[in-house]
């Protein structure tokens, strides 16, 4: 198989299957026809994509309108079973307001090649035998379905709860029903969130050998985490995965951040994170995920009230150690003074 240090996999598009009006399945095989590296349920692959202003893919616009594509990368969860080594399956939702990654993927044609990194799993099933509660919303079904296939193959106990706006927008609806049978519950809200999945009932009370897995829109993940916390689920039994940095929220305002040790004051726009403002100011803060999942960027708050939006810090971290994750959290109001 052709290799490069960062993108060791050269894949070829073997098949393209429309799943809904917005979601397309891509079947990818090794360009040299060989077997592909193994993966486990919940894994994803990072792809090398080209992002071009106004162009969804090379060749889709007249030459006079093309702009030089910029290199980029996008991650997509693997959908197929872990014991299928001859192909990878991903599903991509077209995000028309996005930066262009999904447009690039949707514009791929059968026979085209694409570079990818090795499969990586930041959202694995728990190692020990357990009962799994799988929750998926929209395109979040992709890693959850792979998990369901792995659990089904093991004969493990699980329930899958899958929500979408309507049957027509639910990718893999038939496949989920065929694989899971009575172990799957499907929900359609038809645009009214109050008619969607009854999360409190679905999550239920914690049980020692029960684990919860959720993937989907960020509001769904936030709601599941909040309900699980309120119902006193152990944090180590609640698993989720986020891709990409969070978008600015409605009502976000500019804020002033004083970095006491650095002697720098930042005026942070509403659309920019404190972390990015620090980097733009020439500082070298520690960070990793940019999603509030790892706490590498956490700093101590000396004064002011942060609005916590991370998923990594405990209540003690926030209330006793006065930490905040500057990649996602902001000032609730007024000014923040940080020990940075």
- The pLDDT tens digits along the chain (340 residues) read 444 688 999 999 999 999 999 999 999 999 999 999 999 999 999 999 988 654 434 334 333 333 444 568 899 999 999 888 899 999 999 988 777 889 999 999 999 999 999 999 999 999 999 999 999 999 999 999 999 999 999 999 999 999 999 999 999 999 999 999 999 999 999 989 888 999 999 999 999 999 999 999 988 999 999 999 999 999 899 999 876 666 677 788 999 999 999 999 999 999 999 999 999 999 999 988 888 888 999 999 999 999 999 888 988 999 999 999 999 999 988 899 999 9
Task: Give the model's pLDDT for residue 251.
Answer: 80
Task: Give the model's pLDDT for residue 18.
Answer: 97
DSSP class of residue 208 equals T
Query: What are phi and psi for residue 75, nearest 5 degrees?
Result: -110, 135
Query: What are phi and psi for residue 9, nearest 5 degrees?
Result: -100, 125
The CA distance from 104 to 98, in Å, is 11
Domains of the chain are: 9-116 (2.40.30.10), 131-240 (3.40.50.80), 255-338 (3.10.20.30)
The CA distance from 312 to 235, in Å, is 10
* Residue 165 near residue 188 (C-beta atoms within 8 A): yes
DSSP string, 222-287: HHHHHHHHHTT--GGGEEE---SPPPPPTT---EEEEETTTTEEEEE-TTS-HHHHHHHTT-----
Angle (deg, nearest 10), helices 173-180 and 141-154? 20
Query: What are phi and psi for residue 49, nearest 5 degrees?
Result: -125, 165
What pTM was computed for the model? 0.81
Structure tokens at 53: 């202003």
* Residue 335 near residue 306 (C-beta atoms within 8 A): no
Task: Give the model's pLDDT for residue 71.
Answer: 66
The CA distance from 204 to 191, in Å, is 25
Task: Give the model's pLDDT for residue 52.
Answer: 63
């Amino acid at each position: 198989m052709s290799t490069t240090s960062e993108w060791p996999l050269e894949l070829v598009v073997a098949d393209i299957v429309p799943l809904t009006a917005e979601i397309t399945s891509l079947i990818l095989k090794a360009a040299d026809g060989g077997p592909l590296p193994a993966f486990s349920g919940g894994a994803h692959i990072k792809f090398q994509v080209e992002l071009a202003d106004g162009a969804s893919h090379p060749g889709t616009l007249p030459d006079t309108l093309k702009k030089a594509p910029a290199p980029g990368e996008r991650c997509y969860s693997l959908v197929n079973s872990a014991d299928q080594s001859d192909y990878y399956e991903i599903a991509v939702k077209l995000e028309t307001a996005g930066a262009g990654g999904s447009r690039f993927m949707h514009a791929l044609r059968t026979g085209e090649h694409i570079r990818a990194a090795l499969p990586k799993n930041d959202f694995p099933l728990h190692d020990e035998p357990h009962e799994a509660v799988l929750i998926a919303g929209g395109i979040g079904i992709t890693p959850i379905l792979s998990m369901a296939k792995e659990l089904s193959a093991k004969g493990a106990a699980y329930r899958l709860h899958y929500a979408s706006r309507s049957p027509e927008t639910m990718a893999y609806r038939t496949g989920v029903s065929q694989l899971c049978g009575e172990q799957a519950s499907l929900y359609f809200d038809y645009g009214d969130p109050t008619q969607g999945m009854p999360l409190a009932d679905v999550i239920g009370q914690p049980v020692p050998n029960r684990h919860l897995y959720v993937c989907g829109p960020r509001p769904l993940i936030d709601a599941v985490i909040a309900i699980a916390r309120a119902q006193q689920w152990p944090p180590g039994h609640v698993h989720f995965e986020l891709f990409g940095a969070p978008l600015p929220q409605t009502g976000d305002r500019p804020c002033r951040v004083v970095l006491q040790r650095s002697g720098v004051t930042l005026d942070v726009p509403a659309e920019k994170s404190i972390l990015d403002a620090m980097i733009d100011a020439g500082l070298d803060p520690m960070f990793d995920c940019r999603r509030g999942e790892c706490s590498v960027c956490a700093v101590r708050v000396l004064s002011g009230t942060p609005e916590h939006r991370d998923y990594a810090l405990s209540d003690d971290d926030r209330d006793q150690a006065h930490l905040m994750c500057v990649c996602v959290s902001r000032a609730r109001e007024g000014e923040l003074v940080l020990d940075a």
